[in-house]
Amino acid sequence: MEIIRTPAAMTAWANRMVAAGDAIALVPTMGYFHAGHLSLMRRAKKLAKLVVVSLFVNPIQFGPQEDLARYPRDLARDAALAEKEGVDVLFAPEAAAMYPEGSQTRVAVSGLANGLCGASRPGHFEGVTTVVAKLFHLVKPRFAVFGQKDFQQLAVIRRMTADLNWDIEIVGHPIVREPDGLAMSSRNIYLSAGERQAALGLFRAIQHARQRVREGLGEVAVLLSEVREMLAATPGVAMEYVECVDEATLVPSADLAPGVVLVMAARVGTTRLIDNDKLFAEVK
């Protein structure tokens, strides 16, 4: 596996591979890999001959009171894990290389980025779409793989890709969970033992919602009331939002039907966690 540290070197490598006729699959990450990240890499290897994993803690998607400084980082550890998965290139640039002095351009998606996480994290998705746009230009992928845990992010990137006419297939990969159901996240390392148990309240709420859908519940308002009540009654969990939205438009849904996704965000201690579930994927 090759580790590339500069945008110019990344572009030069990508140009050679594309000229040779080889397709590239990109897995954008902020590093500190867990099993969820590794599953994205394995998915990418099934899509294209070459896999590039970007490892970049993107400063412009963090708000002033967020965890940029303490976000977990371990390049040597991550490189070893990526190499074991057969990744061809780990692209790990410095912030100054991605945003050189004088940089002024941002890429923004309106509408989809405004609600849910966007409501409490102003500027976050503009930071995400800007860095992903830059990665698309540098890496020249035919495929890009993103985890479905960041469901709003996935929808925003799909919209950007379609709106800008990029010939890139955006692949959403299912959430990978711990054995007890907690959605895997690099930020889970922040949780104390007690907070880790409290965080399971999000998955218990999802399990409850799945069961209610299996029972034939069709009213979103009823489901949301029950889920919010469960989370409100879970010590240590501070709800930010719980909604049922259309999977493509993120517009709130009035009825429970295929294509509706339960999305939620909450704080457990100082850690912000998100989770979601395509409720009807569980109903056969």
Cα–Cα distance, 34 to 94 (Å, whole number): 22
87 CB burial (10 A radius; 0-12, 13-18, 19+): buried
- Residue 167 backbone dihedrals phi, psi, to 5 degrees: -85, 65
Q: How far apart are CA 140 and CA 14, in angstroms?
A: 6
Exactly one of 34, 37, 173, 208 is catalytic; name it.
37
Residues 14, 8: Cα–Cα separation, whole Å: 10
Q: Hey, what are 229's tokens? A: 């009540």
Segments in the chain forming alpha helices (H): 7-19, 35-47, 75-84, 95-98, 117-120, 124-139, 151-163, 193-214, 220-232
CA–CA distance from 32 to each of 1, 55, 71, 75, 151 (Å)?
18, 9, 9, 8, 20
The single-letter code of the amino acid at 33 is F
Active site (annotated) includes residue 37? yes
Q: CA 185 to CA 74: how far, in whole Å?
A: 15
Q: What is the DSSP letter of 62?
A: S
Contacts of 38 (CB under 8 A, 6+ apart): 81, 85
What size, in residues, is the chain?
A: 284
Active site residues: 37
